[in-house]
Structure formats: C-alpha cells, structure tokens
Structure 1
Amino acid sequence: MHDLLQQMCWKILHRESHRHDGNRIAIKYHEDIVDILLSDRKETQAVEVINQEPYKGEVNDCFIIDPTCFSNMTKLKFLRISNVHFPQGLKYLSNDLRILEWYGCSLKSLPSMFKPKHIYELEVCSSQLERLWKKDLELPNLRSINLSFSKNLTKVPDITSTWNLVKLNLQGCTNLTRLHESVLLHKRLRYLNLKGCTCLQSLGKRCMEMEALEALLLSGCSKLENIPEFGKNMKHLEH
C-alpha cells in the first residue's frame, strides 16, 4: 500500500477510536465485513474503510445475495475484499472510492453507475471480469490498474482520459486478444505487463508513442504476430 494511502487509513481509524455514536467508520476482519454487508442499511452510512486483513488460514467464500448492499456506503473511500461474491450482481459502489482492491471478483463488469473520479488505485486480480466497465470513464487521478490473472477479460478500457496512469498490469489475462489503441499512445504510462497473455495476437497497427514507458513485458505471448514500431521519443524503455 502506498504511504499516502496508508496514512489515510490510519487517520480514519484514529477518528473511529474517538467516536461515541456507535457507528463504525472502519472494518477490517472478514467476519465483520460479512456482517456489515448483511446488516441494516442505517448501520453502514458512516463506513469509510473496509480493509480486509490478510488471513493466514482458509477463508470460506461468502455469497451476498443483495446487489444493493453497498448503496448506503456513500462515504466509502477504501475497499479491500476477497472471497466475497455477488451472484445477483452489484448495483452500486461509492464514487468516492480512492482505492479498490478486490481479489477474486465474480462480476462480469463493475457497476454501470460506478464513476470514481477520485480513484487512485484499482486492483481486481484473479477476477471473472470480461471488461472493467461498460462505458469509457474520465479518471484523471487513477495511477495504477492491475487486472492480472483475470482469465475472462476480453476488452481493455479506453485509457485516453486516464491521463495520469503509470502502471497497467494485464499479466495472465489469457482471453485477451488485443489492446485498445489508446494504450500504445499513452504519454505517461511507465509499466505495461502483458506476460502470459497467451491469446494476444496484436498490440495494434499504429506506431507506439509511449514516451514515458520504461518496462514492456511480453514473455509468454506466444500468438503475438507483430510488435509496432517504437516512436522516436521512446527513450526510457529498458532493453
């Protein structure tokens, strides 16, 4: 976790320890997270942090039937969960989220109303996502996208309006056949990981104009037919 984000969590946790109204701001244990998702809506309005701690033992998968269980958590800024599934889908996530880390997400795409303009880091690994979202979004604060080992992923979003993105990790996305052309034209992207994308056939036909790119990982891309020419300003790429 980035230092800045860690400080944010500690600040919220510190505030929680000084509250006397009984409403919880931060939740970190798996069983408490399940309880809050199944609880009365009024009890969730104050929640700002759901930070599921790593568990050394085995954690049973949890299935939440209610697709609106996050609907009252409009203040939620940090969400880290795993082994939590929504078989009926999910209709809402807070647009105030700064961090989303969701291991094993069972959704095909994130909620259509989810437009987190303040989001800084998005990590949805080993998911069942087919696409990240259905409509292109303007996310000027997003710095990192990690969709690694999301084996059903077939589409990479248009990142034209994600101006400050520096890291895109698509390792092990074995159903991905091509990239969106905006990836190869991104001026600030520094790290692009495509390792193990075994169905990737093309990076696009246009010349790569990724001026800030430092690392391009392509090992295991056995079906890749060609790599576009590098632009003249791509001087930072490691050989």
Structure 2
Amino acid sequence: MKRTRIISSRTIALDNLQRAPNITAVLTYMKEKYKEYFQHGAEEGEAIVDAKWFKSMVNLRMLQFSNVRLEGDFKYIPAAVKWLQWRKCSLRSLPSVLLSREMAVLDLSQSKIESVSGWKWFWDRRKVKNKLVVLNLYNCYNLTAIPDLSGHKSLEKLILELCTSLKTVHKSIGSLDTLRHLNLRECSSLVEFPSDVSGLKLLEVLILSGCSQLKNLPRNIGSMNSL
C-alpha cells in the first residue's frame, strides 16, 4: 500500500518564508506557529505578532498591518520605516516610539485608538523635524480629540472621516500652512471647529458634510485662498 505523506500548514508556511522572506510570509508563519494562542488570546480574526521579528529588517521602509496585535518591545520596529499602515489596530493609544523621525505616512484607519495626546511631547523632547505628510484616522470611532499638531510642519493630508466620537478639533489645525486636504465627513459628534483658520493658505479640500452637531464655521473661512 502506498503511504500518503501529510504536510502540515506550518511546514508549508515555513518553506514559503525561507524561499521568499517578506512581511506576508512572516505573518502567515506566525499564525501557523502560534495557532492555538491566536485562537485563545486574540480577538476574532486578529493575529498576534512579536515585534522582535522585525529587529533584523533594517531596510524596511513600508509596514502594512490589518487586524494584527503587535506585542513585545516596539523599539524593534525599524526607525527607518516611512509608511506605517496599521488598520484595525486594537491599541487604545499609540506608543510614541513608533513615530520615527522618518515617518511620512501613518494610517490607523478603523482602529480602536482613543488617544494620541503624547505626540507633541514626543517631538518636542527630541527636537527633530517631523516629516509626517499623511495622517489617516478614518473610522477611529473611539477618538474624542486630536492633539496639538503645531509641530507637524510637513502635514498635507489629515483624514478624520467617520470619527463619530470626535467632539473638538484642536486649534492648531488652523495654523497648518502645509495642509492641503482635511476630511471630517460624518464626524457626527463634532461641535467645535477652530475659529481662526488664517494659517490654512494651501488648503484645497475641506469636507464637513455629515457634521450635524457643528455649531459654527470659522469666522475667517474666506482667508483660505486655495479652497
């Protein structure tokens, strides 16, 4: 009788990782290696990844996650990462160590993030130029406020669409002279917008549709010459 060899999914994942080491292969292998832990320790559909797996990826520039719980010391994420997309992040606040000086795009859409209040402190403490160009907080439904963004001198695009718990927008937004796109669509709890927007000289797109609780528009909205 001919014997049939059964190859486990973990073996296949390891083989794929060895042949083509990339982030997809790493995540697949981690899921298989710790399958039982995933089933009991994670939320439905969420994978758990140890941050130290990225320690040797010194050339990593783009890191994209979705529905992943990153555990361990976040310092292992390479400081040279320019684009971090972490959708459906289950963290309540984002560790400031992830905000490297090279970060240009930060996408936390559909996340449970509640607070980003330590960001200004992080940049002030290091006295470095912030290179963040795009900040995407789409559908971060637990977010109630955004921090002082005055240190973000390169920010061009800010997406807050469907941040349904967002009540106020920090006054620093009115002075972001590099901002070109501001999306607040369906921020249904928003009641207050900065009264002074004289600094938004380059703003081309401002979306406020669905902000049903918003009391007033900026008094000097006419100063936004590029709108």
Give the TM-score normalised by structure 1. 0.70
Match status 1:163 vs 2:153: yes
- 3-state SS, counterpart of residue 113 of structure 1: helix
- 3-state SS, counterpart of residue 35 of structure 1: helix
CA distance in 2, matches of 1:90, 1:24: 27
Q: Hey, which bits of structure 1, 4+ residues long, moved more than 6 A? A: 22-25
Q: 2:220 — aligned with what?
A: 230
Q: What value does the CA root-mean-square deviation take over the aligned residues?
A: 2.9
CA distance in 2, matches of 1:124, 1:34: 22
Of 18, 28, 35, the residue aligned with 2:29 is: 35
Match status 1:91 vs 2:69: no
Q: 1:148 — aligned with what?
A: 138
Q: 1:121 — aligned with what?
A: 105
CA distance in 1, matches of 2:92, 2:129: 20
Q: Which amino acid aligns with 2:216?
A: N
Give the TM-score normalised by structure 2. 0.73
C-alpha contact (below 8 Å) 2:173/2:194 kept by paired residues: no
Show structure 2 runs of 5+ residues with no match. 1-16, 34-43
CA distance in 1, matches of 2:151, 2:20: 32
Q: 1:62 — aligned with what?
A: 47
Equivalent pairs counted in the alignment come to: 194
Shift of the 89–28 alpha-carbon distance from structure 1 to 2, 3 Å rule, reads closer
Q: Which amino acid aligns with 2:74?
A: K
CA distance in 1, matches of 2:100, 2:19: 23
1:24 Cα deviation from its structure 2 partner: 8.6
The percentage of counterpart residues that share the same residue type is: 30
Shift of the 112–170 alpha-carbon distance from structure 1 to 2, 3 Å rule, reads same
C-alpha contact (below 8 Å) 2:148/2:172 kept by paired residues: yes
1:207 Cα deviation from its structure 2 partner: 4.3
Shift of the 139–36 alpha-carbon distance from structure 1 to 2, 3 Å rule, reads farther
For the pair shown, the structure with the greater C-alpha radius of gyration is 2
Q: Which amino acid aligns with 2:206?
A: L
Cα deviations by residue, 1:180-227 (Å, 9 ceiling, x for unpaired): 111111111011000010111101233443000111100111111111
1:72 Cα deviation from its structure 2 partner: 5.3
CA distance in 2, matches of 1:160, 1:195: 22
1:70 Cα deviation from its structure 2 partner: 4.4
Q: Which amino acid aligns with 2:101?
A: K
1:232 Cα deviation from its structure 2 partner: 5.8
Cα deviations by residue, 1:55-89 (Å, 9 ceiling, x for unpaired): xxxx942134x565545555432101112124x67
